[in-house]
Chains A and B, each alone.
Chain A
Amino acid sequence: GDSVTQMEGPVTLSEEACLTINCTYTATGYPSLFWYVQYPGEGLQLLLKATKADDKGSNKGFEATYRKETTSFHLEKGSVQVSDSAVYFCALSDGAQGGSEKLVFGKGTKLTVNP
């Protein structure tokens, strides 16, 4: 079945450092790819998404590019802030396995940014 593998944390950075969280996937069909963020004590919210190869999703200074050739969707930010401290989840939605109602998630990466 489909799966998502993401870099396991925890990751601890200083403010203004560069961030990369790796994410790779396997899918039967041609999936859409998502990054969700979970701030402490809250539910998940969409950070960004990409729906076809070479698409770049971006939001709040975060970026990720859909790389079909390497089946990857790495999350990057050039300068992190304390407010970025959260758990980040990579996920996919595969039409061959259902649709938007059946997201497949990675295990999550906890990011802590120190002042």
Chain B
Amino acid sequence: NAGVTQTPKFQVLKTGQSMTLQCAQDMNHEYMSWYRQDPGMGLRLIHYSVGAGITDQGEVPNGYNVSRSTTEDFPLRLLSAAPSQTSVYFCASSYSQETTDTQYFGPGTRLTVL
């Protein structure tokens, strides 16, 4: 199993550009999430999905869109990039919704918006 994979690893955008961060998992996990990591802020939840076709907003959803057309993929779209979206983005997945279950994280995408 590759686990949770993310592409690209690094990305530089100009203000106003759009892009999609890719996330895929091969563990047949129903539950997937996107977090952003900022210095001194820990990780904050952007959007999450409890299954194909079902998504919802987390703590900091503004400026981001998601969709979940398959169990495996959960892309994160930046509609019009802003410098405040400079961050490291992590995708994660878990098998069940049980609070005892473990989330598995991808290696992250480091995004810089100029």
Contacts and interface: CB of A to CB of B under 8 A. Distances in A.
Main SS at interface, chain B: strand
Interface of A: 4, 31-32, 34, 36, 42-46, 49, 51, 89, 91, 93-95, 98-108
Given A100-B97, A100-B100, A103-B43, 7 more contacts: A42-B108, A49-B100, A94-B99, A101-B32, A103-B45, A104-B45, A105-B43
B20 interface: no
A46 B100 CA distance: 12
B41 interface: yes
Contacts of A89: 42-43
B98 A100 contact: yes
Nearest to B38: A107
A49 B103 CA distance: 11
A98 B33 CA distance: 12
Contacts of B100: 32, 49, 51, 93, 100
A100 B45 contact: no
25 contacts: A42-B107, A43-B105, A43-B107, A44-B90, A46-B103, A51-B99, A89-B42, A91-B43, A95-B99, A98-B48, A98-B97, A99-B97, A100-B99, A101-B48, A101-B92, A101-B97, A102-B48, A103-B33, A103-B43, A103-B45, A103-B92, A103-B103, A107-B40, A107-B41, A108-B42
